[in-house]
Amino acid sequence: MLNGQRVLITGGTGSFGRKCTQLILKNYEPEKLIILSRDELKQFEMAQEFLPESNPISFFIGDVTDSDRLYRAFDGVDIVIHAAAMKQVPASERNPFEAVKTNILGAQNIINAAIDRGVKKVIALSTDKAVNPVNLYGATKLCSDKLFIAGNSYSGRRKTKFSVVRYGNVMGSRGSVIPYFMNCRNKGRLPITDKRMTRFWISLQEGVNLVFLALKLMNGGELFVPKIPSMSITELAKAICPDCELDFIGMRPGEKIHETLISESDSSYTLEFDDFYLVFPQYRWSSNAESEDILGGGKPVPDGFEYSSHTNDRWLTIEDMKHLMVDLPVV
């Protein structure tokens, strides 16, 4: 699938980008793997890890808000994995224009550059916070998702295909609650916003594998959602620090009690497969009109279906989480 291809990862020095790079080099033989990010220090550190292996990697300083730089970076690229985003909820609320420029206008820049440069496939990463959003980060990612899905209508003769993968909280990613709780253990107390809170959880490797699956199956316009387990925030706290006292501090602005990966309004366009759901676009273009027939094997979800963290049929126990955290990379 990626052998002989020129692959570019935006936000490639982040948690996802580093894991994706590791798995691409382990399982495939790309002609070139381009890491695009705006952090030269992280690129330097990543080069020390991967370049001594004589791997086909190049690093590109750039920002998705800079359309000219994207046009240069996408020259000759076959596949783009778009992981760059401004994703911290409080930072997005305090810097709303920057969140819009990165997550929305950045998506527009990716779409235009990919089509004009003849990129074959673009996969964009989304989040559960894009479903029925209550904060600016979620709203910008919902808009980004809509842009990438609708981007297929702009491809024309170029035939660039755009699809989206959406999942929940990534274990061990920078800024997530797991490393935060780990840092609080020495204090003997963990702050909990609301004891009823539940979240979806996915490992970095599972997130990357979902992208690989989407690249294999996509025909343009699909939104891929994995079947992943939920866990309550109090159970998570017990798994990380069973002896800590829990301080219930109340919900922060922009938080939900539960998260949703597929809304009820999308159920009419959703098919269920063994390990994932697939949401088809409401509008069809020549690039995706036959997508359902090509995939095959999926079944429509029931009317009124909603995939939410508190009604999930897959749950992590405390022991499950302890096992997953043994070798958890926190980067």
pLDDT in tens, 45-67: 999 999 877 779 999 999 999 99
* CA 213 – CA 279 distance, rounded (Å): 15
216 is catalytic: no
Tokens of 15: 């948690």
Residue 16 phi, psi dihedral angles, 5° rounding: -65, -45
Cα–chain center distance at 125: 3
Judge contact between 141 and 103, C-beta under 8 A: yes
The active-site residue out of 42, 87, 121, 129 is 129
DSSP-assigned beta bridge partners for residue 277? 225, 272
Q: b/e map of 62-72 (b: 16 or more CB within 10 Å)? A: bbbbebebbee
What pLDDT was estimated at residue 1? 86
Map residue 275 onto helix, strand or coil. coil
Among 72-76, 130-134, 225-229, 235-239, which is the least confidently predicted range?
A: 235-239
Of 309, 208, 307, which is closest to residue 259 (Cα–Cα)? 309
Among 32-41, 71-80, 121-130, 171-180, which is the least confidently predicted range?
A: 171-180
pTM: 0.93
Residue 267 phi, psi dihedral angles, 5° rounding: -65, -30
Judge contact between 201 and 171, C-beta under 8 A: yes
Judge contact between 246 and 234, C-beta under 8 A: yes
Judge contact between 18 and 46, C-beta under 8 A: yes
Domain with residues 6-170+201-227+263-304, CATH architecture: 3-Layer(aba) Sandwich (3.40)
328 pLDDT more than 80: no
Judge contact between 83 and 9, C-beta under 8 A: yes
Residues near 318 by Cβ (< 8 Å), separated by ≥ 6?
235, 238, 239, 242
pLDDT in tens, 103-140: 999 999 999 999 999 999 999 999 999 999 999 999 99
188 pLDDT more than 90: no
What pLDDT was estimated at residue 175? 67
**Strand order across the beta sheet in which 270-272 lies:** 57-61, 32-37, 6-10, 79-82, 121-127, 161-167, 223-226, 276-279, 270-272, 299-300
* CA 179 – CA 21 distance, rounded (Å): 22
* CA 52 – CA 45 distance, rounded (Å): 12
The owner of tokens 């387990």 is 229
